[in-house]
Amino acid sequence: MNRLAAFLRLMGAGWRLVRADALVPKEVEPLLPPSARLAGWFLRLFAGGKTRKGRPGERLARALEGLGPVAIKMGQFLSTRADIFGATFAEDLSHLKDRLPPFPTAIARAEVERSLARPIDSLYTTFGEPVGAASLAQAHEATLLDGAKVAVKVLRPGIERRVVEDSATLRLAADLAHRLVPAARRLRPREFVEVVIRALDLEMDLRFEAAGCAELGEAMALDTHMRAPAVVWDGVGKRVLTLAWAPGVPLSDPKALEQEGLDRKALADNVTRGFLAQALDHGLFHADLHEGNLFVSAPAAITAVDYGIVGRLGLAERKYLAEILYGFLSRDYVRVAKIHFDAGYVPAHQDMDAFAQALRAVGEPVFGRDARQVSMGKLLAQLFEITALFEMALRPELVLLQKTMVTVEGVARRIDPSHDLWAASDPVVRRWIARELSPVARMRELADEALRALKAMARYAEQPPVPPAVVVEKTPAWPWFLAGAGAMVLAFAAVRILVALILA
């Protein structure tokens, strides 16, 4: 029964997009192959009503707004890619970021008291009307008893049930794509959907968001690129979150980039470098960096809000990411290809040299060029063709990273149309490489390996003795084995350190 309900919701979503002429818009017909044009012509026979009015982006925004939080999240992602879909299309979708219809303040106040189990006046002297409403929650301006200005985030009533329903529909769509579209299987739609659903589940408990904000705030404080507001823990509950008021103007407001003294180039660089510093240096990053979540003030200060989605990377993933970026920065495509094979991103039976050649074909035409000279749409299409050719499957653990990288680039280029992603990334990547892959770092890694080996052998030596019935009367061999093995490990480590120093 649940699967039938999900199927009906999926059909309803498709029908809403068809009625709005948002599935295969007439405006893009000249860009489509004959088969797609025919499908678009057929679907438009069923379009009509008020939803059909307006530009493609306006029609899609109206359709997504009625389809729930998952669809709105997709619209937020699309709105950051003006370089692919055009500035008008992106602008038409931009209201999905934080300007949805709010629910009544009286309901929000009651929810705060219920979640915090205390009267609202015991924490706030004022609790104002909504200042922003998004797909999952809305924010209110409030004042603490000590006079500090804060933002109070409250989940929408009934949103948990809606997310559960959307998740079931999304799982069904992924399952159908896997079964009916063989070409989509390498993108692992089922695994991708589970990553999205998991992120939404975490967003349903604002205590997790408070913890993520505090943790990322500590990491951001070590650099100057981006900041996080302080958490007011007395005002944190499962459905309520209180943070210090973020200074500046949200990037979703056109006035943000009109502030006197604003340095657009430095601001765009800070967006890119802030994200990379989080991911590489600390292994965690804000995974929802759209304009509505970034408050800016002159000359180039950024405060990020909304920590419902925090991505994490293990040390191995961070190393691969840094080396891949460094390889592109240094135009060493053979190195980038080898890293892809070592990480298992490309199957071992593929030709590494051919993959390196394909990467060169992608990287060289755009390296060092002004962003206005690069068609990101064509670049992404070429990358997609290459990954298909070499059977490169989607990595579910990197979905949030890949999504955030694309979003960050879109935001940075909206701030500064000539933003050079590679030039902005260079100092952060080189800093990480110098710190983690330097001879000193290699010596530290080798010393750790030797220490682990000695501890393992020590544990082996401490094992209980063999029962007397099988004991052979002779001098125990393990002390000599331990000493000899330890000496070999240390000697090997010394040789590797010497080689590393020579090659550095």
Residues with catalytic annotation? 288
Nearest to 286 by CA among 304, 300, 269: 304
**Alpha-helical regions (H) of 20-136:** 34-43, 56-65, 69-79, 82-85, 87-93, 105-116
Instruction: Give 131's contacts (C-beta < 8 A, 6+ positions apart).
Output: 139, 140, 141, 151
Is the CB of residue 174 less than 8 Å from the CB of residue 189?
yes
Cβ neighbours for 26, distance < 8 A, ≥ 6 positions apart: 40, 44
Residue pair 9/23 in contact by the 8 Å Cβ criterion: no
In this structure, are residues 67 and 87 in contact, taking their beta carbons and an 8 Å threshold?
A: no
CA distance 213 to 199: 15
User: Using CA atoms, how far apart are residues 347 and 341, in angstroms rounded to an integer?
Assistant: 7
How far apart are the C-alpha atoms of 461 and 377, rounded to whole Å? 61
Question: H-helix or E-strand containing 408?
Answer: helix 399-415
Helix %, strand %, coil % of the chain (to 5): 65, 10, 25
Q: How far apart are CA 123 and CA 350, in angstroms?
A: 62
**Peptide bond preceding 299 in cis form (omega within 30 of 0):** yes
Closest among 74, 55, 80 to 13, alpha carbons compared? 74
If you write DSSP's letter for every residue of 108-172 in order, what string do you get? Answer: HHHHHHHHHTS-GGGTEEEEEEEEEE-SSEEEEEEEETTS-EEEEEEEPTTHHHHHHHHHHHHHH
421-436 and 264-277 are packed helices; what angle lies between their axes, rounded to 10 degrees?
40
Alpha-carbon distance 255 to 167, whole Å? Answer: 36
Mention every residue, 6+ apart, whose C-beta is less than 8 A from residue 189.
Answer: 173, 174, 175, 177, 178
Q: Cα–Cα distance between 3 and 439 in angstroms, integer?
A: 56
Euclidean distance between CA atoms 115 and 138, whole angstroms: 15
Nearest one of 150, 133, 145 to 247, comparing CA atoms? 150
Chain centre distance of CA 287: 4
Q: Is the dihedral angle over the CA atoms 398, 402, 408, 409 positive or is it negative?
A: positive
Per DSSP, the residues of 384-395 read HHHHHHTT----
